[in-house]
Amino acid sequence: MRTICWGIIGCGDVTEVKSGPGFQKANNSKLVAVMRRKGDLAKDYAQRHNVPKWYDNAEALIHDSEVNALYIATPPDSHKEYTLLAAQAGKPVYVEKPMALNSEECRTMIDACKIAGIPLFVAYYRRALERFLKIKELLDSGIIGEIRFVNILFYQPNSIDPEKELPWRLHPESAGGGLFIDLASHLLDFLDYILGPITSVQGFASNQLRLYRAEDIVSGAFVFQSGVQGIGTWCFSGFQKFDCTEIVGDRGKISFSTFDAQPIRLTTQNKTAEFSIEYPPHIQQPLIQIVVDELNGVGKSPSTGETALRTTWVMEQMLKNYYHS
């Protein structure tokens, strides 16, 4: 197999542990160049992670002849721009989640990559993690019977200091929304993977603390193509921290956390079982390996532009009245 030589556009915090080392440790993969607009930060990253080249210009990295695949790890407001440049250069793209600011941008990215004949992958890495594959295995086994509904409850205290500059994740023009977009997208995408597409959505969003412009609470109801129904609430100014999703069937249920490594709990009429599965050190590495393998003609990635578009569309529907009322 050939070695896939990666270039990273936007070597920020997410690339330090979650993703960057995964490109170096995956089989038949290496990280050969990184880019950040502030050249001194790109140089520092390259030196600390033993990356041969660094750039302060994205186009220069994209056109580096040694780079044959690109990882776009910038905020969502530049995902479309860099994906289109990558498509013009004929280089496969692995883009951070959420895929783009809105579904229209997602479609533009998908179309550009199709025309260029290159694959487009999105970093919804829970589709490749052992912990979440166990949940899929349990569902597929039929142990909880016919799936009836999904119940999501996620809340955490406010962590924003109004005296400090807001992080980019709370600027809708950069992120496409607030923390809901950043965090809820993981679970909504995973549910798409294990239960199929959501085809009908209604949502309510507001800002209860009024510390910033983005939403800080979202509630939604949705229906999957299969007929399974779901409800969810995500609150970012609540009491303590709570993260639990229940998938309920007619013979049992599965409960799990999206972010914490708490045991997956299976409950049926006859028994209760727990499955403790830790996260890997570099959480994106399993999906990166699948992407590398596909680029070498082996297997298919479960996370593509097409699947990520569906997740963006669902969140867009939940936030529609908040941003477009």
CA–chain centroid gap for 161, Å, is 26
How far CA 112 is from CA of 7, 212, 226, in Å, comes to 20, 35, 31
Place of tokens 């109801």: 221
Backbone angles phi, psi at 288, to 5 degrees: -60, -40
Cis upstream peptide for 119 (omega within 30°): no
Q: What is the rounded distance in angstroms from the CA atom of residue 185 to the CA atom of residue 109? A: 18
pLDDT-based confidence at residue 162 (cuts at 50, 70, 90): confident
pLDDT tens column, 121-146: 999 999 999 999 999 999 999 999 99
Q: What is the rounded distance in angstroms from the CA atom of residue 236 to the CA atom of residue 232? A: 13
* Burial class for 244, CB neighbours closer than 10 Å (0-12, 13-18, 19+): middle
Q: Is the pLDDT of residue 170 over 90?
A: yes
Q: Is the pLDDT of residue 325 over 70?
A: no
pLDDT tens column, 104-124: 999 999 999 999 999 999 999
Ordered by where they begin, the domains of the chain are: 4-126+283-302 (3.40.50.720), 130-279 (3.30.360.10)
> pTM higher than 0.75 for the full model?
yes
Structure confidence at residue 56 (pLDDT): 97
Structure confidence at residue 163 (pLDDT): 80
